[in-house]
């Protein structure tokens, strides 16, 4: 650790082979902490930058799925958002740290960034928009429950959340928690939320073959539209998510009654998507159903019995209830539950609905 007057900073940081973190305390005083190579770990970096030192490039996700588009969609994700250090020996422990090293192998925390001296005389700090982590209670399994969101510092310490995302005052140190990633840990980079899965955890997740078998089993039951009496069928994922086809099941997301597509029951005074269910008369969004195809997001291989509201993505009951109860950071200090398959914010009392299919009359 070096205490340097600012005019000398550029010279001290010019060695690309030397990783270092620069903490700017004032215009005339910076603290530079140098890092040495570690033969026992591998470092992976995540951020918005497409430069070579970023291993996983992430872009902002807009509600409803896909990347935020257009010049007005200013990204809030840092170019060098975070880094993950993985042990090379079993059990291959992975630890997360805020901020990543740039092309010059440096991390800069400017005057306005939250930074402080630790009790042991070292330096630590937070990035502008922060790196938040949530570890699920009970792991990522059928018994999972959402945990508490925390902020990770540049040195990997765990803090309670700041009053707002970019506030200069840090939260309180949480001494009994660590930056070790667990199966199902969520990493929020202020614009995109990542799900960390372990190989052992993915062994318990459904496979794509199982998801396809569930689709075929659901179609083999020959569910029918209770009004039009036409047979419904989930389309093959190979077809892609284009416009719904004629056999596509649709759902009234307030009640869960599944129908084929029809044009009646519109309640335009309530909004363009509002329809009245012909079975129970509840008025609400009427959307096509799509089977969620990302197996790593599923807690269990249960049957596709529930749909997220209002997007219509279908998965097992436990998967739907878990994500509907998991608040994801949004903006400076808001939280919203979102569909894990498309990022749409969930609505309604529960965020998901049990699907009610009608079997064939014969």
Question: Of 107, 118, 100, 197, which is closest to residue 157 (Cα–Cα)?
Answer: 118
What is the pLDDT averaged over residues 200-227?
90
Residues 284-294: pLDDT tens digits? 899 999 999 89
For the CA atoms of 180, 200, 143, 171, what is the dihedral angle to 10 degrees? 10
Q: How confident is the model at residue 150 (pLDDT cuts 50, 70, 90)?
A: very high
- Of residues 6 and 80, the one with the higher pLDDT is 80
Q: What pLDDT is stored for residue 263 in this prediction?
A: 76
**What's the pLDDT band for 270 if we cut at 50, 70, 90?**
low
User: What pLDDT score does 138 carry?
Assistant: 87
Give the whole-angstrom CA distance, residue 147 versus residue 149: 7
The reported pLDDT for the residue numbered 357 is 92
> What are 352's two structure tokens?
């998901």
Q: Among candidates 252, 233, 240, 231, which has minimal Cα distance to 356?
A: 252
Whole-structure pTM value: 0.90
Q: How confident is the model at residue 76 (pLDDT cuts 50, 70, 90)?
A: confident
Q: Please calculate the CA angle 113-114-116 and round it to the nearest 5 degrees.
A: 125
The structural domains of the chain, with segments of one domain joined by +, span 2-61+74-203, 205-354
pLDDT at 246 over 80: yes
Query: What's the CA gap between 343 and 117, in Å, rounded?
Result: 38
310 cis-preceded (ω within 30 degrees of 0): yes
Phi (first) and psi of residue 220, to 5 degrees:
-65, -25
Range from 104-113, 270-279, 326-335 carrying the lowest mean pLDDT: 270-279
pLDDT at 240: 65
Task: Quote the pLDDT of residue 196.
Answer: 97
115-154 burial, b at 16+ Cβ within 10 Å, e below that, comes to beeeeeeebbbbbbbbbbbbbbeebbbbebebbebbbbbb
**Band of residue 67 on the pLDDT scale cut at 50, 70, 90:** low
Dist CA 239 CA 256 (whole Å): 25
Residue 86: pLDDT above 50? yes
d(CA 83, CA 89): 19
Residue 68 in this model has a pLDDT that exceeds 60: no
Contact predicate 42/53, CB 8 Å: no
pLDDT at 70 (0 to 100): 46
* pLDDT above 90 (res 225): no
* Residue partners of 237: CB distance under 8 A and separation at least 6: 212, 215, 291, 293
**Partners of 224 in the beta sheet?**
231, 358
Give the pLDDT band of residue 330 (cuts 50, 70, 90): confident
Q: What is the pLDDT of residues 11-44, one digit of tens each?
A: 556 677 789 999 988 888 889 999 999 999 999 9
pLDDT of 147 strictly over 90: yes
Average pLDDT over residues 308-335: 93
Per-residue pLDDT band for 71 (boundaries 50, 70, 90) equals very low
> Is it the case that residue 279 has pLDDT exceeding 70?
yes
Q: Percent of the chain beyond pLDDT 90?
A: 59
Q: What is the pLDDT of residue 362?
A: 47
User: Which residue in 290, 285, 287 sits closest to 347, CA to CA?
Assistant: 285
Mean of per-residue pLDDT scores for the chain: 88
**How far is residue 156 from each of residues 174, 177, 220, 272, measured CA to CA in Å?**
12, 11, 51, 48
Residue 63, pLDDT score:
60
Q: Does residue 72 register a pLDDT over 60?
A: no
């Amino acid at each position: 650790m070096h205490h340097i007057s600012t005019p000398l900073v550029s010279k001290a940081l010019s060695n690309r082979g030397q990783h270092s973190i620069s903490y700017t305390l004032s215009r005339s005083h910076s603290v530079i902490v140098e890092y040495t190579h570690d033969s026992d770990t591998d470092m992976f970096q995540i951020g918005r930058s497409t430069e070579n030192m970023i291993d996983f490039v992430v872009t902002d996700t807009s509600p409803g799925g896909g990347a935020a588009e257009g010049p007005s969609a200013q990204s809030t994700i840092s170019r060098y958002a975070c880094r993950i250090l993985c042990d090379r020996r079993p059990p291959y422990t992975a630890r997360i740290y805020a901020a990543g090293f740039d092309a010059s192998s440096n991390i800069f925390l400017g005057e306005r960034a939250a930074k402080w001296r630790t009790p042991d005389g070292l330096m630590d700090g937070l990035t502008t928009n922060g790196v938040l982590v949530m570890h699920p209670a009970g792991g990522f399994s059928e018994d999972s429950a959402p945990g508490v969101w925390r902020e990770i510092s540049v040195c990997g310490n765990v803090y309670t959340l700041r009053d707002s995302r970019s506030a200069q005052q840090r939260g309180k140190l949480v001494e009994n928690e660590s930056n070790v990633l667990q199966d199902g840990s969520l990493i929020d980079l202020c614009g995109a939320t990542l799900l960390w899965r372990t190989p052992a955890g993915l062994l318990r997740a459904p496979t794509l073959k199982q998801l396809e078998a569930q689709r075929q089993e659901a179609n083999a039951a020959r569910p029918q539209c209770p009004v039009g009496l036409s047979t419904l069928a989930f389309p093959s994922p190979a077809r892609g998510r284009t416009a719904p086809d004629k056999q596509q099941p649709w759902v009234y997301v307030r009640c869960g009654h599944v129908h084929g597509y029809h044009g009646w029951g519109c309640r335009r005074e309530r909004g363009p998507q509002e329809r009245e269910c012909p079975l129970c008369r509840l008025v609400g969004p009427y959307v096509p159903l799509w089977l969620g195809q990302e197996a790593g997001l599923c807690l269990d291989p249960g049957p596709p019995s529930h749909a997220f509201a209002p997007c219509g993505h279908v998965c097992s009951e436990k998967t739907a209830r878990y994500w509907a109860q998991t608040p994801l950071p949004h903006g400076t200090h808001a939280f919203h539950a979102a569909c894990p398959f498309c990022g749409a914010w969930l609505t309604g009392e529960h965020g998901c609905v049990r699907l009610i299919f009608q079997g064939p009359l014969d």
